[in-house]
């Protein structure tokens, strides 16, 4: 149970040190270090990222969600096509979906034009892809559990009370 | 010009304002202040609970409720108390929904205390008991709990202060500001003295859901013979992060609850309707939120406790609420001096222990209802501060 907590804590804030984590879950620092090393080795922990709100920076970024309908292969099903799509560095994530389409692919590029060209030239031409539908991201409200849109950002309104 | 002061109630005029104000005023003037001073959760009210309030507004449910509160809410509160704290109350007669736990405290004191009656108030504790007892016409008698007892109240301490005028014992556990809790055996000892001297107990259990460790919270009302002489006060502020909804409740013997209801009906009419709708949802489907928040607080508690101890500030382990109460006696400073210097030099706001009674001198109240990042940053600043002393 404590180790599951460890993963949740890291998911929330990967900057916590093993010493802090150990105190919080009530384990020895050495145990926590070992557990993290094992999680990394076993591929439970896949990496550590910063959550960046690119809209607040000067750099240009565009993102899109692309719905793909594909013909699954006889032996490998959807895996083979998904594997081909994953190879593109433009592709941020690939999900196999239930419902009206098969693969959901998120793509990032410098401009919408770049993404449109990528879909037209690279994705829709893959053998087995029946159709694509590209939805551009206009703004990001929340990502990775964190609110991005400043209108909804948390303001700590506490502290004016004198006897709590 | 009228001489207004002569027309105002001297009892209230003479009550000192809360000692916390000064630090808020200083903190408000500064930028980049890191505060560990507030006494309310940083979690938002869980969304499903807020939604229940919103839905009631959309449907136009904005009338007064029955004086005691909605029957269904009282039923849910009775079930909640029974399932978590193992005391059974009749929703029709034993439960009153109030404007926060604070109103329940006020009502109880006013319904019990007559001029000259004494109320025993353990300190350090929440700042309201003493002024309310006084305004009710009673005489507050302070019991100073001790760090060597983990700030628990002992039977001997009650015996020392009890007189034939004593009527009421305030039992503020889990305790703000110390984080102390009363274990079953501590309560059993207190209960014997309470029975012996025929006292009533005002048990302020607003932090009950934030009790860490295996045993969990024990209510004195669950001990044999104590239900009949206890007013159990609780609410939604801390357990369900609902401070601003201003909703609490009292549960107790029906004769006393009838008096409190009478007073409530004249002074308040009924607790806020929207809040009551939200609270029904909180009681029905909020146990998981409560457990989640407790777990989060518990992790922060360990972090801050470990941090303070490694700074050399001696801290007994708090087992409830969301405060730690470290001793700063090793610095040679008074609580007030420490807090003032800390805020000016490092922009960290904490509350001096003596704001919660004279015996809190030499301690700080540090709240951990803040993010881990915030807590870590504050600890770093405190470390720098202590090095420079």
Q: Which of B302, B308, B310, B315 should we substitute to test contact with A (largest number of A Cβ atoms within 10 Å)?
A: B302
| Helical residues (DSSP H) of A2-73, grouped into ranges | 2-12, 18-25, 29-41
CA geometry: angle B17, B21, B26, nearest 5 deg: 150
Which of A61, A10, A69, A59 is closest to A37 using CA atoms? A10
Asked whether residue B216 carries a pLDDT value surpassing 80, the answer given is yes
The region that residue A137 occupies, defined by phi over 0 for left and psi between -120 and 50 for alpha, beta otherwise, is: beta
**What values do phi and psi take at A116, rounded to 5?**
-60, -40
Chain A's closest residue to B176, CA to CA, is A164
Q: What confidence category does residue B19 fall into, taking pLDDT thresholds of 50, 70 and 90?
A: low
Q: What pLDDT, on the 0 to 100 scale, is given for residue A159?
A: 66
Q: Which residue ranges of chain A lie beneath pLDDT 50?
A: 1, 164
* Residue B205 Cα, gap to closest chain A Cα (Å): 14
In a mutational test of the B interface, the residue from A13, A25, A158 whose CB has the highest number of chain B CBs within 10 Å is A158
pLDDT cut 70: percent of chain B above it: 99
Contact criterion met (CB < 8 Å) for B299 and A5: yes
Contacts A2 to B, Cβ<8 Å = none
Beta-strand relationship, B351-352 and B364-367: antiparallel
Say if the Cβ atoms of B126 and A13 lie within 8 Å.
no
Among A155-164, B102-111, B202-211, B269-278, name the one with the lowest average pLDDT.
A155-164
> Taking chain A, what is the end-to-end CA distance rounded to the nearest angstrom?
34
Read off the DSSP letter of residue A64. Answer: E
Q: What are phi and psi of B309, to 5 degrees?
A: -60, -40
Average predicted confidence (pLDDT) for chain B: 95
**Contacts A26 to B, Cβ<8 Å:** 302
Q: Which residue of A has its CA nearest to B301?
A: A24
E strand or H helix at B231: strand B230-235
H or E segment and range at residue B201: strand B200-204
Contacts of A164 in chain B (CB under 8 A): 38-40, 176, 243
- B12 with B135: CB under 8 angstroms? yes
Q: CB distance from A161 to chain B under 8 Å?
A: yes
Contact A159 B37 (CB under 8 A): yes
What φ, ψ does residue B150 adopt, rounded to 5°?
A: 65, 30
pLDDT band at residue B224, thresholds of 50, 70 and 90? very high
Q: Tell me the per-residue pLDDT of B113-148, one tens digit each, with 9 for 90 and over.
A: 999 999 999 999 999 999 999 999 999 999 999 999
Contact B295 A160 (CB under 8 A): no
Q: How far apart (Å, rounded) are the C-alpha atoms in residues A72 and A82?
A: 10
Q: Smallest Cβ distance to A23: which of B20, B38, B306?
A: B306
A145 has a chain B CB within 8 A of its CB: no
Angle CA B309–B315–B320, to nearest 5: 120
CA distance A161 to B193: 36
Q: Which domains, and CATH codes, for chain A? A: 2-41 (1.10.10), 54-139 (3.30.70.920)
Contacts of B10 (CB under 8 A, 6+ apart): none
Domain positions in chain B: 4-45+289-388, 47-286
Paired tokens of B52: 């229940």
Our separate counts of H helices and E strands in chain B read 13, 12
What is the DSSP code string of B98-156? ESHHHHHHHHHHHHH--TT-EEEEEES--TTHHHHHHHTT-EEEEEE--GGGTT---HH
Question: How many other CB atoms are there within 10 angstroms of residue A94's CB atom?
Answer: 20
Residue of B30, B39, B323, B374 best to disrupt the A interface, most CBs of A under 10 A: B39
Pick from B20, B295, B303: CB nearest A162: B20
- Contact (CB<8Å) A24/B18: no
Furthest-apart CA atoms within chain A: distance in Å: 70
What pLDDT is attached to residue A150? Answer: 76
Residue B312: how many CB atoms within 10 A of its CB? 12
Task: Give phi and psi for B18, each to the nearest 5.
Answer: -60, 140
Record: fold of B4-45+289-388? 3.90.1150
pLDDT at A60: 87
Tell me which chain A residues have a C-beta less than 8 angstroms from the C-beta of B299.
5, 9, 24-25
Both tokens assigned to B210: 């934030």
Lookup: tokens for B235: 């609410």
Q: How far apart are CA B209 and CA A59, in angstroms?
A: 47
Query: How much is the pLDDT for B24?
Result: 72
- Beta-carbon separation of A158 and B40 below 8 A: yes
pLDDT in tens, B22-60: 777 777 788 888 889 888 899 999 999 999 999 999 999
Which pLDDT belongs to residue A152? 74
Region of B137 please: left (phi>0), alpha (psi -120 to 50) or beta.
Answer: left
Pick from B245, B235, B238, B281: nearest CA to B52: B281
* Confidence at residue A161, expressed as pLDDT on a 0 to 100 scale: 53
Binary contact (B21, A162; C-beta < 8 A): yes
Give the architecture (CATH level 2) of B47-286: 3-Layer(aba) Sandwich (3.40)
Kindly indicate the confidence band of residue B197, based on its pLDDT and cuts at 50, 70 and 90.
Answer: very high
pLDDT digits (tens, 9 = 90+) for B232-291: 999 999 999 999 999 999 999 999 999 999 999 999 999 999 999 999 999 999 999 999
For residue B17, pLDDT beyond 80:
no
Contact A163 B18 (CB under 8 A): yes
d(CA B214, CA B319): 10
- C-alpha–C-alpha distance, residues B159 and A18, integer Å: 49
* Count of alpha carbons within 13 angstroms of residue A3, beta-carbon side: 11
Which structure tokens are listed for B196? Answer: 């012996």
Q: Which of A23, A156, A163 sits opposite B128 (nearest CB)?
A: A163
Distance from CA of B259 to the nearest CA of A (A): 26
């Amino acid at each position: 149970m404590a180790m599951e907590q460890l993963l949740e804590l890291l998911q929330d804030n990967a900057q916590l040190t093993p010493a802090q984590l150990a105190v919080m879950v009530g384990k020895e620092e050495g145990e926590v270090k070992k557990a993290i090393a094992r999680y990394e080795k076993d591929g439970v922990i896949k990496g550590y990222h910063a959550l960046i709100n690119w809209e607040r920076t000067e750099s240009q970024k565009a993102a899109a969600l692309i719905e793909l309908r594909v013909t699954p292969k006889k032996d490998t099903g959807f895996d083979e096509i998904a594997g081909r799509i994953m190879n593109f560095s433009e592709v941020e994530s690939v999900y196999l979906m239930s419902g009206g389409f098969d693969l959901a692919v998120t793509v990032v590029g410098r401009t919408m034009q770049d993404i449109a060209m990528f879909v037209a030239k690279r994705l829709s031409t893959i053998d087995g892809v029946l159709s694509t539908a590209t939805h551009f991201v206009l703004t990001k409200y929340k990502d990775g559990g964190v609110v991005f849109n400043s209108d909804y950002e948390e303001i700590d309104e506490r502290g004016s009370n004198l006897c709590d | 010009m009228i001489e207004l002061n002569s027309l105002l109630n001297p009892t209230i005029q003479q009550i000192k304002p809360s000692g916390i104000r000064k630090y808020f005023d200083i903190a408000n003037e500064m930028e980049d202040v890191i505060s560990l001073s507030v006494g309310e959760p940083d979690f938002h009210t869980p969304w499903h609970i807020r939604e229940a309030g919103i839905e009631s507004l959309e449907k136009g449910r904005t009338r007064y409720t029955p004086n005691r509160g909605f029957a269904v809410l009282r039923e849910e509160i009775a079930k909640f108390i029974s399932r978590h704290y193992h005391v059974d109350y009749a929703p029709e007669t034993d439960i009153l929904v109030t404007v926060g736990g604070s109103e329940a405290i006020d009502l109880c004191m006013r319904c019990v205390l007559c001029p000259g009656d004494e109320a025993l108030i353990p300190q350090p504790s929440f700042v309201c008991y003493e002024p309310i007892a006084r305004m009710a016409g009673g005489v507050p008698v302070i019991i100073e709990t001790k760090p060597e007892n983990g700030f628990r109240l002992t039977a001997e301490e009650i015996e020392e202060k009890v007189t034939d005028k004593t009527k009421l014992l305030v039992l503020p556990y889990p305790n703000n500001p110390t984080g102390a809790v009363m274990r079953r055996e501590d309560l059993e000892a207190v209960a014997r003295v309470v029975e012996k001297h025929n006292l009533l107990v005002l048990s302020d259990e607003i932090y009950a859901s934030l009790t860490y460790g295996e045993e969990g919270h024990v209510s004195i009302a669950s001990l044999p013979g104590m239900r009949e002489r206890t007013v159990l006060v609780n609410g939604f502020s801390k357990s369900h992060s609902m401070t601003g909804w201003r909703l609490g409740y009292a549960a107790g013997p029906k004769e006393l609850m009838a008096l409190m209801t009478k007073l409530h009906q004249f002074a308040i009419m009924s607790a806020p309707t929207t809040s009551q709708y939200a609270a029904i949802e909180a009681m029905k489907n909020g146990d998981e939120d409560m457990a989640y928040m407790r777990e989060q607080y518990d992790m922060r508690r360990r972090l801050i406790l470990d941090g303070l101890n490694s700074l050399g500030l001696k801290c007994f382990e708090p087992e409830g609420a969301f405060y730690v109460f470290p001793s700063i006696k090793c610095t040679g400073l008074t609580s007030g001096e420490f807090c003032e210097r800390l805020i000016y030099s490092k922009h960290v706001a904490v509350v001096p222990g003596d704001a919660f009674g004279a015996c809190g001198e030499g301690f700080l109240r540090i709240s951990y209802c803040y993010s881990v990042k915030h807590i870590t940053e504050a600890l770093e600043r405190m470390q720098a501060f202590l090095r420079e002393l």
